Chains A and B, each alone.
Chain A
C-alpha cells in the first residue's frame, strides 16, 4: 500500500465536516480533488491520521454568476470551470489560467477550492485570485468568515485558514466592462508547474488605462501583486514603450528564490518579459468582454 494508514470519513454536510475538523484538528486533512494531497500521501511526505473526504458534498459544487462577481463552490472541478460559458463570459482570465493547470486528467478531479487552499507557490489560481482581488468564504465552528486574497496566502503551502476551518466558496470579481486580460506562463513542458506565471487585467477609459492589475506566481512564497507597475500604468496611454517599462519595474521589484528548476535571475527575467507580453496581449482584448 502506498499511503500510510488513515481513518476515512466522508461527511454529508458542511456542518458535519466542520464538526469533524474540530474533533480531529491538525491530525485531519481535507480531501477534495486529491491531485496534490494524494501524491504527497503516496510518497508518504504527508501522513494524515484522518482523511475528511468532502467529495460527497454536492452543495459545494456550483458556479453562480452574481452582479460583478463569480461565486465558485470549493468543490467545483477545475475542468468544469474551464469549460463553463459563465466563466468564459465573466472571467476569461480564470479560464485561460485553468487551461494551463496540469493536464485534463488532473483538472477532471482537481477542484478550485483545493488549489486555493493548497497554496502552491507556483499555482495559477492563487495569482488569478490575487490579480482580481477576490476573496473566499471559510466555515469554522464559530461560523463563517470572509478572507480577502491579500490576507489569505501566507507563505509556501500555507494560508490563513485554521485547521478546523473549511474553505467553502471562492469569489472571483468579474472583469470590469471592456477590460482586456491575459494569462501567460513558462513551464518546461505543457502542463507542468509554471516556473513563472503572470495574470493581467487592463481596464480602459477614453484612450488611457484607468486601472491595471498584475499578479505573478512562481516568484515568491505566495502570489505577488505588482503594485508598483500597476501604479505606473494607471492613467497612461498604452504603448510598446509602456509595456517594456512595466516589465522592467516588475523585474526589479521581485526577489524570487532559485531552485533546481530555475535560478532567481532567470525567474526575474522571465517575469519581466512575460509581464510585457501579457500587457500587450491584454490590450488586444480590450472591448471583448461586455
Chain B
C-alpha cells in the first residue's frame, strides 16, 4: 500500500511523517510525533485511554486514521502542563489520588478538559456520565469523580481571579499558554498539613454541593428520576 506524506498539527506544532493510510491517529501521534502521553488500551473505541481533542472535541484517536486528521487542530495530554506547573485538572487528579497505575489517566484528563469547558459547573451525575466512556482497570473511579469536581472548582475560581476569558472558553491550542502565574499559587509544593486540609475541605465542599444538586434537582434530574434511571 502506498505510503503517504502526512502533516498534522498537534499542540500548536506541525509534525510531518510518512505512513500508510491504515495507520491510526493514535499510532501516528505516538510513533511519528513521539508524543507517547496518549495511551492505547483496547484499540477499538471502548476504553477511552487514547482520548485526545480534535478541534476542541474529545475523540478516540484509535478510531481515526492519521490522514483523516490533516487540517485539524489536535491537542494531546502533553499540552496540559506548563513545564513544572501542572494544569488545574492534572493538579486535582494528583491531589485527589485519582490515579493508581496511571495508564488510563491521559484519556481521563483529555475527556475532563472537553467536559469542563462545556459544563463548568457539573453535578456529580454529570461527572459520572461524562466519565462513562473511560475505563480505569485499577477501578479508582471514586477519586476520579472527586478530582473532576475539585478541578471544576479550581477552574471556576481561576476564571474569577484572572478575570480573563473563563476557562470554558480557552482555545485548545492555547491551553498550555493559558496556564498563568496566578494559577501556580494553587500548586502545593508538597503534602504539608495546610495543603492536606485544603484538599479535604474541597472534597467535603464538593460532596455537599453534589448532595445539594441532588436534592434540589433540575428539570433534567427530575425527568431522570421519573424514568427510574
Contacts of B180 in A (CB 8 A): none
Complex: A105 Cα to B129 Cα, angstroms: 12
Q: How far is the CB of B105 from chain A (nearest CB, A)?
A: 16
Task: Verify if B86 is at the interface (C-beta below 8 Å from A).
Answer: no
91-146 of chain A: CB within 8 A of chain B: 102-106, 108-109
Q: How far is the CB of B15 from chain A (nearest CB, A)?
A: 19
Q: From B43, B57, B133, give the contact of A42 (CB < 8 A).
A: B43
Contact check, A42 vs B59: say whether CB atoms are below 8 A apart. Answer: no
- Say whether, besides A34-B63, A51-B21, A281-B226, A108 and B58 are in contact (CB < 8 Å): yes
Q: From A1, A105, A106, A190, give the contact of B22 (CB < 8 A).
A: A1
Q: How far is the CB of A279 from chain B (nearest CB, A)?
A: 12
Task: Verify if A244 is at the interface (C-beta below 8 Å from B).
Answer: no
Task: Verify if A156 is at the interface (C-beta below 8 Å from B).
Answer: no
Task: Verify if A290 is at the interface (C-beta below 8 Å from B).
Answer: no
Contacts of A79 in B (CB 8 A): 57
Complex: A43 Cα to B46 Cα, angstroms: 13
Q: From B54, B64, B114, B132, give the contact of A34 (CB < 8 A).
A: B64
- Say whether, besides A2-B24, A34-B64, A39 and B59 are in contact (CB < 8 Å): no
Contact check, A105 vs B226: say whether CB atoms are below 8 A apart. Answer: no
Contacts of B65 in A (CB 8 A): 8, 34, 38, 51, 53
How many interface residues does chain B have, given as a range? Answer: 35 or more
Contact check, B58 vs A104: say whether CB atoms are below 8 A apart. Answer: yes
Contact check, B60 vs A1: say whether CB atoms are below 8 A apart. Answer: no
Task: Verify if A13 is at the interface (C-beta below 8 Å from B).
Answer: no
Contacts of B111 in A (CB 8 A): 104-105
Q: How far is the CB of B18 from chain A (nearest CB, A)?
A: 14
Contacts of B51 in A (CB 8 A): 105
Complex: A254 Cα to B23 Cα, angstroms: 44
Q: How far is the CB of A262 from chain B (nearest CB, A)?
A: 18
Contacts of B1 in A (CB 8 A): 5-7
Contacts of A189 in B (CB 8 A): 132
Task: Verify if A284 is at the interface (C-beta below 8 Å from B).
Answer: yes
Chain A, residues 242-274, CB within 8 Å of chain B (1/0): the string is 000000000000000000000000000000000
Q: How far is the CB of B8 from chain A (nearest CB, A)?
A: 15
Contacts of A34 in B (CB 8 A): 63-65, 68
Task: Verify if B48 is at the interface (C-beta below 8 Å from A).
Answer: yes
Task: Verify if B45 is at the interface (C-beta below 8 Å from A).
Answer: yes
Task: Verify if B5 is at the interface (C-beta below 8 Å from A).
Answer: no
Contacts of B130 in A (CB 8 A): 104
Q: How far is the CB of A191 from chain B (nearest CB, A)?
A: 5
Contact check, B133 vs A105: say whether CB atoms are below 8 A apart. Answer: yes
Task: Verify if B169 is at the interface (C-beta below 8 Å from A).
Answer: no
Contact check, A2 vs B43: say whether CB atoms are below 8 A apart. Answer: yes
Contact check, A106 vs B23: say whether CB atoms are below 8 A apart. Answer: no
Complex: A104 Cα to B63 Cα, angstroms: 14
Contacts of B45 in A (CB 8 A): 35, 38-39, 106
Task: Verify if A55 is at the interface (C-beta below 8 Å from B).
Answer: yes
Contact check, B27 vs A1: say whether CB atoms are below 8 A apart. Answer: yes
Contact check, B68 vs A55: say whether CB atoms are below 8 A apart. Answer: yes
Chain A to chain B: the 8 pairs with minimum beta-carbon distance, closest first = A103-B133, A8-B21, A39-B44, A5-B1, A190-B132, A38-B63, A108-B57, A3-B22
**9 examples of A-B residue contacts, CB within 8 angstroms:** A2-B22, A6-B22, A39-B45, A39-B63, A43-B44, A103-B133, A105-B58, A106-B45, A108-B58
